[in-house]
C-alpha cells in the first residue's frame, strides 16, 4: 500500500493551484456578486487541458484518469466552487456520457470540442417530479420516421445555457418501461432554455430549466442502447460522485487554510484568537475531516482508475466529503466572526456554495441508501 502521490500528480497539482490562484481567486468575489459565468476563464481552463483529463489523446485528451481530474477539481474548488462545478459537470456529465456510450460518429462529432473546453455538454436527468426518484422520468421521446420527438421538462441543469453549450444529453421515456438517453444539440428548435435560476450559491455557474416542445432530433442521436438510459446514468453518476467529493475536499481545504491564517492574525483580548483552544481545536477537527475525506475520495478515484468496482466507495466519499465541507464552511464562518458574514470574505461565499454538495448528483440520503443496500439491508 502506498499513500504517496506520484511526482507527476504533485507537479500537476502545483500547475492547477498556480492557475487557480492567478486566474480564478482574484475575480471570484466579483463573478459571485454579478452572477456572471466567466466564459474567458472557462476557455483558459480548456487551454490548460482540464476538460480533457480523463479522455484519450485521440480526442485531444491526456488519458490521465479520474484521480487526476479529482486533483484539478479539488484545486479549483479550493478557491471557487462555481468554476469547479463547471469543470466537474462539463467532464463528468457533459463529455463522459458521449465518451462511454457514444458511437464512433457521435464521439468524433462532439468530443474534440468538449475535451478542449471549446464546448460544454450538459446532462438533463432531473425533472420537476423526478429527482432522487429518477426512474419516474416523464419526458417522452417518440420515434417518428427517422427522428425522435421529445416532449417534457427538465430542471436544474448545469451548463445548459452558456454560450459554450453544445449539447444536452436527455433521459426520456421511449416506451412504457423504457428510459433512453438522447443527445439534443443546443439550439435545436423546440428546446427552450428557461432563464437562469437565482441560486443560494454557485452564482457563477450556469443552471437552467429546459423544456422540450415537439423537439426533433435525428434517430441517430440515441446515446447507447435504447432502454439502457437508466443504467447508463447510474454509471455516469458513480464517477460524478467521486468528482463532487473532490470538490468538497477542495472547499474544505480552502476553509481550513483561511481559518488557520485568520486565527493567527486576528487579535482579541490581547492575543490571536487562535491562542484559544475553542478556535484552535475547531481548526484541528477541520484538518482531520479534510484528511479523511481526501483519503476516501482518492481511494474511490483510484479504484475507478484500476478498473475495480467503486460504486459503494463513491457513495461513501461523496456522503462524507460533502457533509464535512458543509461543516467546514460553518466553522470557518464562525472563526471569521462578523467578517465571515459579508460577501467580500471568501468563507461567506463558501458557506453558501457548499450546501448543494449534499444535494446534487444524489442527495446525502440517496448515498446512505446506496451504502445501506451494500450492507445487505432490505431498502
Ligand atoms: C445547482 C444545482 C445543479 C444541478 N445540476 C443538475 C444537472 O446538471 N443535471 C441534473 O439532471 N440534475 C441536476 N441537479 C438536480 C439534483 O441532482 C437534484 O436536485 C437532486 O438529485 C435531488 O432531487 P430533487 O431536487 O427532486 O429532490 P427530491 O428527490 O424531491 O428529494 C427531496 C428530499 O427527499 C429526500 N428523499 C427522497 N427520496 C428519499 C428516500 N428514498 N429516502 C430518504 N430520503 C429521500 C431527498 O434526499 C431530499 O432530502 C442540480 C441541482 C442543483 C440544485
Considering the domain architecture, whether residues 214 and 264 belong to the same structural domain is answered as no
> At residue 220, does pLDDT exceed 90?
yes
- 344 pLDDT band, cuts 50/70/90, is confident
Pairing of strands 178-185, 165-175: antiparallel
Considering the domain architecture, whether residues 113 and 180 belong to the same structural domain is answered as no
Pairing of strands 120-124, 165-175: parallel
In a domain, residue 379? The reply is no
- Which pTM does this prediction carry? 0.98
Sign of CA dihedral 235, 238, 241, 245: negative
Catalytically annotated residues: 361
* Atom number, ligand 1, closest to the C-alpha of residue 356: 53
Query: Is ligand 1 within 6 A of the CB of residue 160?
Result: no
In a domain, residue 348? The reply is yes
Residue with the smallest CA separation from ligand 1 atom 48 is 363
Considering the domain architecture, whether residues 360 and 238 belong to the same structural domain is answered as yes
Question: What are the tens digits of pLDDT across the range 359-377?
Answer: 999 999 999 999 999 999 9
Pick the closest to residue 169 from 157, 181, 178, 151 (CA basis).
181
Considering the domain architecture, whether residues 250 and 322 belong to the same structural domain is answered as yes
Query: Is ligand 1 within 6 A of the CB of residue 207?
Result: yes
CATH number, domain of 74, equals 1.10.540.10
Considering the domain architecture, whether residues 78 and 133 belong to the same structural domain is answered as no
Pick the closest to residue 100 from 244, 245, 229 (CA basis).
229
Residue 229: predicted pLDDT: 92
Considering the domain architecture, whether residues 177 and 302 belong to the same structural domain is answered as no
Query: Is ligand 1 within 6 A of the CB of residue 236?
Result: no
In a domain, residue 27? The reply is yes
- Beta-strand (E) ranges in the chain? 120-124, 140-144, 147-158, 165-175, 178-185, 191-193, 207-218, 222-223, 267-268, 271-272
Considering the domain architecture, whether residues 243 and 342 belong to the same structural domain is answered as yes
Question: What are the tens digits of pLDDT across the range 240-273?
Answer: 999 999 999 999 999 999 999 999 999 999 999 9
46 CB-side CA count, 13 A:
21
Structural domains of the chain, count: 3
Considering the domain architecture, whether residues 234 and 364 belong to the same structural domain is answered as yes
Query: Is ligand 1 within 6 A of the CB of residue 125?
Result: yes
Residues of the domain holding 99: 7-119
Q: Across residues 77-91, what is the average pLDDT?
A: 98
> At residue 36, does pLDDT exceed 90?
yes
Q: Which neighbouring-strand residues pair with 144?
A: 147
Considering the domain architecture, whether residues 180 and 249 belong to the same structural domain is answered as no
In a domain, residue 313? The reply is yes
Considering the domain architecture, whether residues 105 and 134 belong to the same structural domain is answered as no
Question: What are the tens digits of pLDDT across the range 143-156?
Answer: 999 999 999 999 99
CATH number, domain of 321, equals 1.20.140.10
CATH number, domain of 192, equals 2.40.110.10
Q: How far, in Å, is the centroid of ligand 1 from the Cα of 366?
A: 9
> At residue 295, does pLDDT exceed 90?
yes
Considering the domain architecture, whether residues 112 and 214 belong to the same structural domain is answered as no
In a domain, residue 2? The reply is no
Residue 1: predicted pLDDT: 84
Task: State how far the Cα of 22 lies from the Cα of 19, in Å rounded to an integer.
Answer: 5
Residue 69: predicted pLDDT: 98
- CA 148 from chain center: how many Å? 29
Residue 315: predicted pLDDT: 98
Q: Which neighbouring-strand residues pair with 175?
A: 178
* Atom number, ligand 1, closest to the C-alpha of residue 130: 26
* Torsional class of 140: left (φ above 0), alpha (ψ -120 to 50), beta (otherwise): beta
- CA 60 from chain center: how many Å? 21
Residue with the smallest CA separation from ligand 1 atom 44 is 365
Pick the closest to residue 252 from 287, 296, 279, 200 (CA basis).
287
Q: In the numeric block, which cell numbers belong to residue 60?
A: 485531444
How much is the mean pLDDT over the chain?
97
- 299 pLDDT band, cuts 50/70/90, is very high
Amino acid at each position: 500500500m502506498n499513500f504517496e502521490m506520484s511526482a507527476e500528480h504533485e507537479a500537476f497539482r502545483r500547475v492547477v493551484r498556480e492557475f487557480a490562484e492567478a486566474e480564478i481567486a482574484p475575480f471570484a468575489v466579483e463573478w459571485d456578486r454579478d452572477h456572471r459565468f466567466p466564459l474567458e476563464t472557462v476557455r483558459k481552463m480548456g487551454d490548460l487541458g482540464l476538460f480533457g483529463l480523463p479522455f484519450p489523446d485521440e480526442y485531444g485528451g491526456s488519458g490521465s484518469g479520474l484521480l487526476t481530474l479529482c486533483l484539478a477539481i479539488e484545486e479549483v474548488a479550493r478557491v471557487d466552487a462555481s468554476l469547479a462545478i463547471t469543470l466537474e459537470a462539463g467532464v463528468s456529465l457533459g463529455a463522459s456520457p458521449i465518451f462511454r456510450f457514444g458511437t464512433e460518429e457521435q464521439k468524433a462529432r462532439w468530443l474534440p470540442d468538449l475535451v478542449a473546453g471549446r464546448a460544454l455538454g450538459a446532462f438533463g436527468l432531473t425533472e420537476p417530479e423526478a429527482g432522487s426518484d429518477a426512474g419516474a422520468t416523464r419526458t417522452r421521446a417518440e420515434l417518428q420516421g427517422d427522428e425522435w420527438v421529445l416532449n417534457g421538462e427538465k430542471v436544474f441543469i448545469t451548463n445548459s445555457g452558456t454560450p459554450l453549450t453544445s449539447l444536452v444529453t436527455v433521459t426520456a421515456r421511449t416506451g412504457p418501461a423504457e428510459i433512453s438517453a438522447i443527445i439534443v444539440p443546443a439550439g435545436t428548435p423546440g428546446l427552450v432554455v428557461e432563464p437562469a435560476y437565482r441560486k443560494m450559491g454557485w452564482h457563477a455557474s450556469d443552471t437552467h430549466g429546459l423544456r422540450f416542445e415537439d423537439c426533433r432530433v435525428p434517430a441517430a442521436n440515441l446515446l447507447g442502447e435504447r432502454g439502457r438510459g437508466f443504467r447508463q446514468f447510474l454509471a455516469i453518476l458513480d464517477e460524478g460522485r467521486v468528482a463532487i467529493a473532490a470538490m468538497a475536499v477542495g472547499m474544505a481545504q480552502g476553509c481550513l487554510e483561511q481559518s488557520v491564517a485568520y486565527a493567527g492574525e486576528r487579535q482579541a483580548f490581547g492575543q490571536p484568537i487562535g491562542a484559544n483552544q475553542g478556535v484552535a481545536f475547531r481548526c484541528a477537527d477541520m484538518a482531520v475531516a479534510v484528511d479523511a475525506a481526501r483519503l476516501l475520495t482518492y481511494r474511490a478515484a483510484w479504484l475507478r482508475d484500476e478498473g475495480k468496482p467503486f460504486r459503494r466507495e463513491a457513495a461513501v466519499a461523496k456522503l462524507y466529503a460533502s457533509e464535512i465541507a458543509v461543516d467546514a464552511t460553518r466553522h470557518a464562518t464562525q472563526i471569521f466572526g462578523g467578517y465571515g458574514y459579508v460577501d467580500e470574505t471568501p468563507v461567506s461565499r463558501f458557506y453558501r456554495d457548499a450546501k448543494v454538495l449534499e444535494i446534487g448528483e444524489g442527495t446525502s440520503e440517496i448515498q446512505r441508501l446506496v451504502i445501506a443496500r451494500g450492507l445487505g439491508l432490505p431498502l
